[in-house]
Chain A
Amino acid sequence: MDKFKVTFYPDNKTVTVDKDKTILSAAISAGVYINSACGGDGVCGRCKVIVRKGRVESQATGAISLEEKKKNIHLACSTIIHSDLEVEIPESSRLNFDKLTPEELEERLSGLYSKAEDIQPVRTKLEAGVFKHSPFATKLYLELPKPTLDDSISDLERLYRALRQLQEFPVVQTGLFNIRQLGELLRDSDWKVTLTLGQRDDTVEIVLVEPGDTAHKNFGLAFDIGTTTISGQLIDLNSKKILGTKATYNQQAAFGSDVITRIVYAGNSEGLEKLHNAVCDTVNEIIRDLVSEHKIDLNDLNCIVCSGNTTMIHLLLSVDPAHIRKEPYVPTANFLPVVRAAEAGININPRGLLYCVPGVSSYVGGDTTSGILSSGIYQKEQPCILIDIGTNGEIVLGNKDFLVACAASAGPAFEGSGVTSGMRASSGAIQKVTINKKDLGVTYSTIQDKKPRGICGSGYIDLISSMLEAGIIDKGGKINAAGKRIRSTDLGKEFVVCFKDETDTGSDIVINEADIENLKRSKGAIYSATAILAKHLDIELSKISKFFIAGGFGTYLDIEKAIRIGLLPDLERSKFVFIGNSALAGARQVLLSNQAMAMADKLALTITYFELSVDPKYMDEYSQALFFPHTDLARFPTVRF
C-alpha cells in the first residue's frame, strides 16, 4: 500500500500516512491540532489549511471560496492525500490551547464563586449552613503507643485501635500497599504517623500512612469537566479555603465541538484513547499549574471530585460512550464508584481518590446534579427552575418534594459555533449591541474592549433583540429593512454589525438570515423544553418562584433581552438568579462534605428524567417557539416591539 509523508507547518511535524487518508486524520496522527468543530463532516469550514506542496483531491464544499481555492486553501477534513505533502495551518485554523489570560479567566469565572457571593449574599448564607465539614479526604495525626509484651497486638490493629479511640470509623480497607510498608514506617517514624482517610460511600479507607505530622498538608481538587471549557479549583481541605482557580479549553475540541461528534470519534480506532488522553492532559495541566503556583507537592493532593456531563465523565474514565448516542440512549454507568485518580490517568497522590458526581441519564449528567446541589432547589418549598444554557441545555424543575429534568438539544449557536461570525466569549467578542432606529447605526462593546473579532452568545441575544427593536428583522427573523448595512447573499440577506475597517480580523462581522434561523431554533429549543416540562407537571410558569441560570454563558446574559427574544419565559425579573458555574460549585461542596456527597447520590436517584422526544406535544411547543418572542404573544405580556 502507498504511504505518504505529510509535514505540517509551522509545527514542523511529519507523519507517514496510508493512501486515501484525509489531511485532518494525518494531523491528528501527527498530534497537530486543527480546529474542527463538526468533527470532520465538512460542514463547519473551520479546518482550512494551505497545501504548499503536493497533490490532493478535495470534495466540493461551499466552505471554500473561489478566491481561497486559488490560494490552495482546502478543508483538511474533506481533502484526500495523493502524494507527499507540505501543509501549512493558518492561525485561524489552529486551536489555541494557551491558557486563558487572567482577564479572560475573570470573565469566564465571574459569578463563579467569590463573585457570585458578592452578587447573591442571600445564597451564600444558605450554602454555608448546609453541610458539615467532612472532606472527601481527611488527615489525622496519631501518636501510637509502642508495642510491649503486654500490649502485643499487631501493627495494623494498633493503628485501628488508635483510630477507634478517637471515633468509631467503619474502616473497610487499608490496602496492601500500606500494610506492606507499615511495620517499617511505624518504627522509623517513632510511632508518630499521619493517616489519610478517604470516604468510600458510608465507609472509610485508610488511603495512606505517612511518617510524622503532615496533617496540615491536605489538599483537594474540584473540577468541572465541560465539553468546551474545563475549570479546576485547588482547595485546602482543612480550612475549606479556595487557593486558586484555573480554566482552559478542553483539548478534546480538536475532535469535534459537541458531545455527539466526540462519541462518534470515540468509535474510531484509538479514538477513545485519544479523547481520554486529551481530557486527562487538560486536567493534569491545570493541576500542574495550580500546584506550582501555590507551591504544593502533588503528593499532598489527596482527592479530586469531577462533575461533567455523562459523555465527558465516560471519556475521562475511558469508558466507551457509544451507547449514549443510540436509542434507547443508555450510558454505561451513571453512578461510578470512588476509584484511584491514578487509574483514570489523573496526576495527584498515586493513592488519591477520584469521585465523579453521579448523573441521571445519558443527557442529564453529574453537572446537573451538581447544579441542583449548589442551587439548593431541592430544599425549596415552591417549585423552581434550574437551567443551564449550553449546546446541550439542561432544565430541572422541582422543589423539596420532586425533581424532574430534561435535556434540550439547543445546538452550539449560543456558544458561538455554527454561526457566521460566532466566537466564544473571549477577548474581542461583541457582547453588547445597540442599534439606532433612525440610521441603523450600531454601537457595541466587546469583552476587554478589544477590537471586535466576532460575536459571542450573549452578543447574539443583544443583537437580535436590538434588530427586532429597530425593525430590521420581523418576528419571523427575516431581514426587513434596507440600508448600507444590509446586503443580499446566497444565505439570504445579511446585516453588517461591524465593517472590516473596524474589526481585528479584517473581515466584516455580519449576521445573516441563516444565522438568525439558527439562533431562533436554539432559543426555541430551550424555551419549549422549559414550557413543556412545566406543562407536563401541570405547573404554570408564572408560579415558578425562582429561576436559576447556571453556566458561564448565564453570567453575561441580559435577562431583559433574553426575554425579549423569547429564550427565557416572561416572569418577574426578580425571580431570575445567576449562579455561575454551578457544576464546579457542586463539586466543591461534595469535596468538602461527605454529607454533600451522600446528597448528590440521593439527588441523582431522586431526579426523574423526562425524555422530550417521546412527548407528542413537544414538536408543537417547539414550532410555536420559532418566532420572536413566541407565536403565542400572550405568554410574553411585557414584550412589545
Chain B
Amino acid sequence: MATQLVLEKWPGLISTVTLGAKKEEGGSRATTVKIGGENTLPLLFNEGNIPNKPAIAFEVWDIPPEDWPEELTKAYGKVLNDPFAWADKCVNEYKAQALCLRMQGTHPDFGDKGAQEAAKFVSALLKKVNVPLVITGSGDDAKDNLILPACSEAAKGERCLIGSAVQDNYKTLVASVLADGHSIIAESPIDINIAKQLNILISDMGLSLERIVINPTIGALGYGLEYAYSIMERARLAALSGDKTLASPFICFAGQEAWRAKEAKAAPDQGIIWEVITATSLIQSGADLLVMRHPAAAVKVAKYIDSLFINK
C-alpha cells in the first residue's frame, strides 16, 4: 500500500498585495508585482496554494550612500552618484522586478532635502523607470512625516508600497497612503505583538488589512537571523490559523542587514554570500518581498527562487 502523506490544511490566507498599477489601473507601470496570497507555510507546495513567488526589489538611494562598503559600491560604480542612472541600471541590466527607493537625502544629517524636492524626485523617477516602486523615508520620524506625504502624492495612483509606519508614528503616513491609493509598510521591532497591534491601529484608521505589508525587522546571518526567523514563523502560523490581523505579506530588508555584518566586509565575495544566505533563509521563513543591495546576490537569489518554484 502506498504511503499517504499527512497534509496540513489551514483556515487562514495571507492577503495578496499588488505593487504598481498599469495604465488601465490608473498608473503608468509596465509591470506589476503580486506578493503574498499563500495559504500554507513557505514552500509546502503539496499542502496548499502558493500563487506568488517571493519578489526582489533593488535598493536605490536618492543620494550616494556614504556607509556602503567598497565591494558593494564597486558593483554599481559611477551610477551611485546619479539615482536615475542607478535605477535604470537595476531595471535594464539586472532585470529588477521592483525598486526600493530610500529617501536618505531628506534626513536632517544627510542633506535635509525638503518635501517639494523629494516629491519632484519621485515624479521624475517614475517617469524614468516603469517597474513598481517601494518608497521609504530616511528613518527620521519628524522628517518622514513631512516628505513621505509629498512623495505619496507625487506617486498618486501608482500603487507604491510606502514606509515605514511604526507604532509611535503611523497616522500621517496612513492618511496619505489611504488618500493616494498606495499600500503601507508596517514596521515592528522583531515583536509579533507589536506587529499585530500596529496592523490593528492602521486598519482602525480605515486602511484595509489587504494594503499592509509587515516589515518584521530582521537580523542578518549571525546577527539574530534565527530570532527574526522564529518571529516570522510564529506570525505566519497565527495568520494561517485564522488571525486576519497578522495575515499580511512580509517585506525583509536583507541587503541592508547583511552588509552591516563585519563578516560581509572581511573578505572578497563574502558580503555577497552573506546577503544570499540571509535572503534565502528568510524565504524559508516566509519572506514575500526581499529588498536587496548587491546585484550579484540578487541575481543568485532570483535563480534560487526559480529553482524552488520549478514545478509551479
Q: Which residues of A contact B (CB under 8 A)?
A: 474-476, 478, 480, 620, 623-624, 626-627, 631-634, 641
The answer on a CB contact under 8 Å between A475 and B197 is: yes
Which residues of chain B are within 8 angstroms of A627 by Cβ–Cβ distance?
193, 197, 200
B204 x A474 contact (CB < 8 A): yes
Contacts A475-B204, A623-B191; A631 near B171 (Cβ below 8 A): no
**Which chain A residues lie closer than 8 Å to B191 at the CB level?**
623
Give 6 nearest A-B pairs by CB, closest first.
A623-B193, A627-B197, A631-B193, A624-B193, A631-B196, A631-B197
* Closest chain B residue to A622, Cβ basis: B193
15 more contacts with CB within 8 A, not counting A474-B201, A476-B167, are A474-B204, A475-B197, A475-B200, A475-B201, A476-B201, A626-B193, A626-B197, A627-B200, A631-B196, A631-B200, A632-B196, A632-B243, A633-B200, A633-B245, A634-B243
Residues on the A chain within 8 Å of B204, using CB: 474-475, 641
CA distance A476 to B193 in the complex (A): 11
Q: Is B168 an interface residue (CB 8 A)?
A: yes
Chain A residues, CB < 8 A from B167: 476
Give, as a whole number of angstroms, the nearest-CB distance from B208 to chain A: 16
Cα–Cα distance between A350 and B167 once the two chains are bound (Å): 63
| Distance, CA A632 to CA B196, complexed state (A) | 8
Chain B: minimal CB distance from A532 (Å): 15
A478/B168 in contact, CB under 8 A: yes
- Can you give 30 contacting A-B residue pairs, CB < 8 Å? A474-B201, A474-B204, A475-B197, A475-B200, A475-B201, A475-B204, A476-B167, A476-B197, A476-B201, A478-B168, A480-B171, A620-B193, A623-B191, A623-B194, A624-B193, A626-B193, A626-B197, A627-B193, A627-B197, A627-B200, A631-B193, A631-B196, A631-B197, A631-B200, A632-B196, A632-B243, A633-B200, A633-B245, A634-B243, A641-B204
Min CB–CB distance A636 → chain B (angstroms): 12
For A623, the chain B residues whose CB sits under 8 A away are 191, 193-194
In chain B between 184 and 200, which residues have their CB closer than 8 angstroms to a CB of chain A?
191, 193-194, 196-197, 200
Contacts of B200 in A (CB 8 A): 475, 627, 631, 633
Which B residues are CB-close (under 8 A) to A641?
204
Report chain B residues within 8 Å CB of A474. Answer: 201, 204
Residues of B in contact, count (CB < 8 Å):
13
For residue B246, give the distance in angstroms from its CB to the closest CB of chain A.
10
CA distance A631 to B168 in the complex (A): 16
Q: How far is the CB of B204 from chain A (nearest CB, A)?
A: 7
A634 to B167, CA, bound (A): 21
Min CB–CB distance B178 → chain A (angstroms): 15
Bitwise, B216-247 to A at CB < 8 A (1) or not (0) is: 00000000000000000000000000010100
| Minimum distance in angstroms from A520 CB to a CB of chain B | 11
How many angstroms between the C-alpha atoms of A620 and B191 in the bound complex?
10
Q: Which residues of A contact B201 (CB under 8 A)?
A: 474-476
Residues in B with CB closer than 8 Å to A620 are 193
Chain A residues with CB under 8 Å of B194's CB are: 623
Binary per-residue interface labels of chain B (159-171) against chain A in the complex, 1 for a CB within 8 Å, 0 otherwise: 0000000011001
Contacts of B245 in A (CB 8 A): 633
User: Shortest Cβ distance from B253 into chain A, in angstroms?
Assistant: 23
**Hey, which chain B residues are within 8 Å of A633, CB to CB?**
200, 245
A371 to B218 alpha-carbon distance, docked (Å):
48
Give the distance in Å from the alpha carbon of A632 to the alpha carbon of B194 in the complex: 11
Within 8 A of A (CB), among B112-146: none
Bound together, the chains give a CA A634 to CA B245 distance in angstroms of 11
B196 contacts which chain A residues (CB < 8 A)?
631-632
CB of A488 to closest CB in B, whole Å: 13
B37 CB to closest chain A CB (Å) equals: 23
Q: What separation, in Å, do the CA atoms of A474 and B199 have in the docked complex?
A: 12
Q: How far is the CA of A95 from the CA of B225 in the complex (A)?
A: 54
Bound CA span A480–B193, Å: 21
Considering the complex, give the chain B residue whose CB is closest to the CB of A623. B193
Q: How far is the CA of A427 from the CA of B204 in the complex (A)?
A: 38
Name which residue of chain A comes closest to B245, CB basis.
Answer: A633
List B contacts of A626 (CB < 8 A). Answer: 193, 197
Report Cα–Cα, A226/B55, bound state, in Å: 61
Residues of B within 8 A of A634 (CB): 243
Complex CA gap A3/B200 in Å reads 62
A247 to B189, alpha carbons, bound, how many Å? 48
- Residue of B with least CB distance to A478: B168
Give the chain B neighbours of A632 by CB distance below 8 A: 196, 243
Measured between beta carbons, the chain B residues less than 8 angstroms from A478 are 168
Interface centre among A476, A478, A480, A623 (most CB of B within 10 A): A476
What is the CB-to-nearest-CB distance from A482 to chain B, in angstroms, rounded to a whole number? Answer: 11
Complex Cα spacing A632 to B201, Å: 13
A633 and B200 alpha carbons, distance in the complex (Å): 9
A465 to chain B, nearest CB (A): 16
What separation, in Å, do the CA atoms of A478 and B141 have in the docked complex?
16
A185 to B311, CA, bound (A): 106
Complex contacts, A624 vs chain B, CB 8 Å? 193
Nearest CB in chain A: distance from B289 CB, A: 24
> CA of A620 to CA of B192 in the docked complex: distance in angstroms?
9
In the bound complex, what is the Cα–Cα distance between A200 and B193 (angstroms)?
53
A478 to B196, CA, bound (A): 16
Q: Which of chain B's residues has its CB closest to A634's CB?
A: B243
Q: Taking the nearest CB of chain A, how far is it from the CB of B167, in angstroms?
A: 6
In the bound complex, how far is the Cα of B196 from the Cα of A19, in angstroms? 56
| Minimum CB–CB distance for A470 against chain B, Å | 14
Q: Which residues of B contact A480 (CB under 8 A)?
A: 171
In the assembled complex, which residues on chain A have CB atoms less than 8 Å from the CB atom of B193?
A: 620, 623-624, 626-627, 631
- Nearest Cβ on chain A to B240's Cβ, whole angstroms: 15
Q: Which residues of B contact A475 (CB under 8 A)?
A: 197, 200-201, 204
Residues from chain A with a CB closer than 8 A to the CB of B168 are 478
Q: Report the bound CA distance from A566 to B194 in whole Å.
A: 17
Residue of B nearest to A624 (CB): B193
Docked CA distance A397–B252 (Å):
43
Which of B193, B200, B204, B245 lies at the interface centre, i.e. has the most chain A CB atoms within 10 A of its CB? B193
Determine the distance from Cα of A66 to Cα of B23 in the docked complex, in whole angstroms: 61
CA distance A627 to B199 in the complex (A): 12
> Which interface residue of A474, A632, A633 has the most chain B CB atoms within 10 A?
A474
Give the Cβ gap from A293 to chain B, nearest Cβ, in Å.
54
B235: min CB distance to chain A, Å: 12
A634 and B168 alpha carbons, distance in the complex (Å): 24
Chain A residues near B171 (CB-CB < 8 A)? 480
A624 to B193, CA, bound (A): 6
Q: Nearest CB to that of B171 among chain A residues? A: A480
Report how far A478 CA is from B202 CA in the complex, Å. 13
- CB-nearest residue of chain A relative to B200? A475
Q: A33 CB to closest chain B CB, in angstroms?
A: 41
Cα–Cα, bound, A164→B245 (Å): 75
Name the CB-closest residue of A to B205.
A474
- Please name the residue on chain A nearest to B167 by beta carbon: A476
The interface residues of chain B lying within 8 Å CB-to-CB of A476 are 167, 197, 201
- CB B58 to nearest CB in A, in angstroms, measures 34
Among A480, A624, A631, chain B packs the most CB atoms within 10 A around the CB of: A631
- Bound state CA distance, A623 and B197, in angstroms? 10
B192 nearest in chain A by CB position: A620
For the complex, give the distance between the alpha carbons of A623 and B194 in Å: 8
CA distance A268 to B54 in the complex (A): 63
Measured CA separation A631–B245 after assembly (Å): 9
